[in-house]
Structure 1
Amino acid sequence: MLHPLVSVIVTTYNRTDYLKLTLESVFNQTFTDFEIIVIDNGTANNLNEQLCNQFEKVKYFKIENSGGPARPRNVGIREAQGKFIAFLDDDDLWLPDKLERQVAILERKSDYGLVHSCCEVIDENGKLKNQVIGRPGTPDVKHGDVSLRMMGNWTIMMPTPLMRKEVIDRVGFFNEEMPSAGEDVEFWVRCSFEAKFYYIDESLAQYRVHSGNISGSSAKYIELPLYLKKVLSEVYDKEKISKEDYQLLLYRLCQMQLKMIKLNFFKTIRYVFVLHTFWFLKINNNKLLIKMLFFK
């Protein structure tokens, strides 16, 4: 039996109405050689299972609630049969030609490990908010070898990437030990040291903003720079970056941490010392601290 070319991993929890729209956006794709793996993160009822049973090519799995999306995504990865992997949360949508365009790029550009784009923003009712997120000032910022441009600056919008399964085989799974608001950032940063990114400067997905968004909980990101330092230390120990690049990225993580000063003053100061004992010797760090405390 031939495996599908693309495995679409959909994580869901207690949002059957949104999940239906999400699944329909996949089945409306102009590209059809895919499987859908729905991982239910412990919804108390069986409405999601009933919904999934109405669709062909959908495999439904329910797990005990893990408190975040990392474990469900990892379960989906283990079940995936496709050469390419895509992720989709149960409240986001794809535009119809998303997979077709991205598959064509990865089939044609063998030196790229994933392809991604920016997102249109929709509200809880699916209405466009005339806002695009994930678009850089210039497209080249998110294109090519981004390993020295990504950490501490930006991340990939979760509903947009299509990636080679072999990249995951190299970088490993999502970090299930992290708070549930930064595990995607940490994962994509690890990927940036293993693969080139192909960026399409068009919205291929719709990101829904509503009260239930995990990413809206800014305080959960306060420990993220510490986890990114672990990634940085690992790639440095493996001699994938130079000492100069290590220092550059560590400085950027200090800046990232200082920008969180208003979320929690004492944790931010403690964590920035963990990142770099002598962070305060950098004039720009002190300027940023003053700016964040008094002028922003």
Structure 2
Amino acid sequence: MNEITVDIIVPTYNRSDLLPETLKSVQDQTFSNWQCWIAEDGETKETLDAIKPFLEDDRFIYLPGKHAGFPATPRNSAIRKGNALYVALLDDDDLWLPEKLERQVEFLKSHPNCVLLGCNAFCWTGTGKWDESPLYFKKNMLGKIRYKELLCKNYIVHSSAMLQRTAIEQAGLYNETLNPPIGEDYELWLRMGVLGEIWVLAEPYTIYRETPQTYYLKLDRRQNYQAAANIYEAALSGVGNKPSPFSYPENAHLAAACQRQRDFYLAGPRFLGRFRHKLTQKIKNIFNNF
């Protein structure tokens, strides 16, 4: 058997109704040299019953574990089990178009400096035709993403991401200690992005399913600012004993930019309100002087 090219990571928890459709979209890929890790956050009969038909295909591997309460832990467990050149990420309620892996593997082979690759996605509610759903991003926003653009906006839909294994291992995998446990994907992108190029394919090869559980944690504005500050701080600090790529001398300028983003959100929404007021007054003064 040829060496596996792509490890597909599918963490799951209480999604036995949607998980088979997700796995079918994996099985239907035109690129076939992959293995798919179904990493359950816990171990339930419902999940095992849902995936049994797929386990007849030896490319699917069931990986139950101790319940952690958030997906970073099962994701990391599966990533550590694999050894493929590339790591593709897929949430248990999202879907891939058949050519998704093929297009991304082709791109990464021709762009060896790319460590983080995403693609556009359809935003589907689960009703109606997915191909008539709006796109996640305008196509003209995509292509090669500068790091300072990534610092201001998450351009990578999680289920669209394909990563160079060497880069995710160097960055330190997912952070399992974020509090609150949101933005763990973006925090990983921030660490990985300093190690090479970031690209997003303009074509949509992923279907992002918006379900009632999609937004599982509701925060007010101040809490959102604090959560954002936590993400930037975590990226700067690194994971466990693994130093953050920001600590490398050649990345000092990017670390400084990340620190500015952290400090902005630490100042809170009142700071933003004052900033907007001052900016508006300055603009008014300029026009009044004409």
Settle same-fold status: TM greater than 0.5. Answer: yes
Unaligned runs of 5+ in 2: 238-243, 280-290
- What TM-score does the superposition give when structure 2 sets the normalisation length? 0.81
1:131 corresponds to which letter in structure 2? P
Report what 1:46 is aligned to.
45
Q: 1:97-118 CA deviation, whole Å, 9 max, x = no partner? A: 1000001111122222232112
Report what 2:19 is aligned to.
19
Report what 1:130 is aligned to.
133
1:11–1:39 contact (8 Å) kept in structure 2: yes
- Measure the CA separation in 1 of the matches of 2:35 and 2:48: 16
2:228 corresponds to which letter in structure 1? L
- Measure the CA separation in 2 of the matches of 1:122 and 1:133: 10
Shift of 1:62: 1.2
Identity percentage over the alignment? 25
- Measure the CA separation in 1 of the matches of 2:18 and 2:135: 21
Change (3 A) 1:236 1:192: closer
Change (3 A) 1:51 1:150: same
Q: 1:17-75 CA deviation, whole Å, 9 max, x = no partner? A: 210000000111111111110011125x3122123221112100111221111001101
1:98–1:204 contact (8 Å) kept in structure 2: yes
2:124–2:207 contact (8 Å) kept in structure 1: yes
2:275 pairs with 1:287: yes
Shift of 1:207: 0.6
Structure 2 counterparts to residues 236-255 of structure 1, below 5 A: 236-242=246-252, 245-255=254-264
* 1:176 aligned counterpart, secondary structure: coil
1:16–1:47 contact (8 Å) kept in structure 2: yes
- Measure the CA separation in 2 of the matches of 1:126 and 1:42: 33
Change (3 A) 1:242 1:20: same
- What TM-score does the superposition give when structure 1 sets the normalisation length? 0.79
Shift of 1:163: 1.4
Q: 1:77-99 CA deviation, whole Å, 9 max, x = no partner? A: 01113111101111000011100
- Measure the CA separation in 2 of the matches of 1:181 and 1:289: 30
Report what 1:186 is aligned to.
187
Shift of 1:230: 4.2
Q: How many residues align?
A: 265
1:106–1:114 contact (8 Å) kept in structure 2: no
Report what 2:282 is aligned to.
none
2:205 pairs with 1:204: yes
2:187–2:234 contact (8 Å) kept in structure 1: no
Shift of 1:215: 5.9
2:135 corresponds to which letter in structure 1? V
Structure 2 counterparts to residues 115-264 of structure 1, below 5 A: 115-125=117-127, 127-128=129-130, 130-135=133-138, 138-140=141-143, 143=144, 146-178=146-178, 179-214=180-215, 217-219=218-220, 221=224, 222-232=226-236, 234-242=244-252, 245-256=254-265, 261=269
1:255–1:285 contact (8 Å) kept in structure 2: no
* 1:11 aligned counterpart, secondary structure: strand
- Measure the CA separation in 2 of the matches of 1:126 and 1:6: 31
- Measure the CA separation in 1 of the matches of 2:112 and 2:216: 32
**What is the alpha-carbon root mean square deviation over aligned residues?**
2.7
